[in-house]
Structure 1
């Protein structure tokens, strides 16, 4: 197809909302759809290839693992790089620890522990990992009130909360 025909198709498809959309979200979705159609056209993606990819996405959704795709493709890191660049442009110096977004396995409302915490429910066969450390500023001074968020997979590579065979946290 010609690029203009693809654009017209996207405009026709995305112009069928029942209610008034958020214009920014609509513009993002329109662009994603346009780019997807162009990829299909540019690479002559065959229907069975597309359905195979869609099946993979369906499996991720059924396992509640879409967010792992984002990390695996480097999208999370790309957001970090963009934020670092924006801060550098306004003169904010990076800390000694590289930025990471909340990550694909962050769960709001997870239990808070003070001092020591055990990350498993003692049902998994595996080695116990002990971690120890300090949160310091760029001069090596302890940071008062700092919080450290941690999570860990079981021996099968599955994370609690997302893996319903494990206890929630």
Structure 2
């Protein structure tokens, strides 16, 4: 009889119930997930109170998500899952630029900008930063007409959707590479910032005695038809939190040189990107 008899018998029944799933990939993923979940529950001997609290956390991260933040994405980031998925799916076999997690603050349809234009649209005090680089393919050839989408937190550590004093789409912009694959833009030097801690993810960090502070960085999304979309970040080389990023996003090749220019009051970042051949497929925006 197909009836539960022991705790261990539940797993076999649950996985067999999924055998008729028409989509083979969905069947594989869900059966594997179920096996791992059951093994986890057995290993830690999960109590009913702990199970109830876990369900409450899942409900809470959904309820805490909205136009200002995506707590579900943040939870995946804090558990290292987002970085793991990015690294597993972007192995850069031909020397392509390393990928990084998308993060919870990317917005689609940032303003289209001219070469050299500033993305600091509202009153955004801070050290001026000039950013430039070249986009190439895996053969080392320049990629003309690529779109370089850049976004960042302000020098006080807030993205524009978190800060009412910033203009809509401040510190966001899309630039097109020229015939030599080059791009350039102006902005202000970003600051490190704490991930949102006013929701269930913040409670989790406090319970684990982990700090919430991400190192200063710029986000980039580089795209061109015929190439896989590159989602990455470039981190300031002098930030004290490079080795303790709460979302585990820093890899050695993602550390850039934010060089102060003596006597000018500004800094420069020069960073090149190499695209991988593939489908130009964009992620779903975490926030509107």
Q: Under TM normalisation by the shorter chain, which class is it?
A: 0.5 to 0.7
- Distance change >3 Å, CA 41–CA 126, structure 1 → 2: farther
Q: Would the alpha carbon gap of residues 106 and 158 (structure 1) be closer, same or farther in structure 2, given more than 3 Å must change? A: closer
Q: Is there any run of 5+ residues in structure 2 with no aligned partner, and where?
A: 1-5, 170-288
TM-score, length basis structure 2: 0.41
Deviation at 1:42, TM superposition (A): 1.0
The answer as to whether partners of 2:15 and 2:31 remain within 8 angstroms in 1 is yes
Name the SS for the 1:135 alignment partner: strand
Q: Could you tell me how far apart the structure 2 residues matched to 1:164 and 1:10 are?
A: 47
Q: Is the 8 A contact 1:6 1:38 kept in 2?
A: no
Report deviation, 1:150.
2.2
Compared with structure 1, are the counterparts of its residues 40 and 109 closer, same or farther at alpha carbon in structure 2 (3 Å cutoff)?
same
- How far 1:39 moved relative to its partner? 0.5
Deviation of 1:13 (Å): 5.8
Which residue number corresponds to residue 131 of structure 2?
A: 132
Paired residues in the alignment total: 155
Match of 1:112 in 2: 112
Rounded Cα–Cα distance in structure 1 between residues aligned with 2:53 and 2:160: 26
Matched, 1:145 2:145: yes
Tell me: CA distance 1:99–1:65, structure 2 relative to 1, closer, same or farther (3 Å).
same
CA contact (8 A) 1:84 1:94 kept: no
Q: Which has the higher contact order (CA 8 A, sep 6+)?
A: 2
Which stretches in structure 1 are left out of the alignment for 5+ residues?
Answer: none
1:128/1:52 Cα in 2 relative to 1: closer, same or farther (>3 Å)? farther
TM-score (normalizing by structure 1): 0.63
CA distance in 2, matches of 1:129, 1:102: 25
Higher strand share: 2
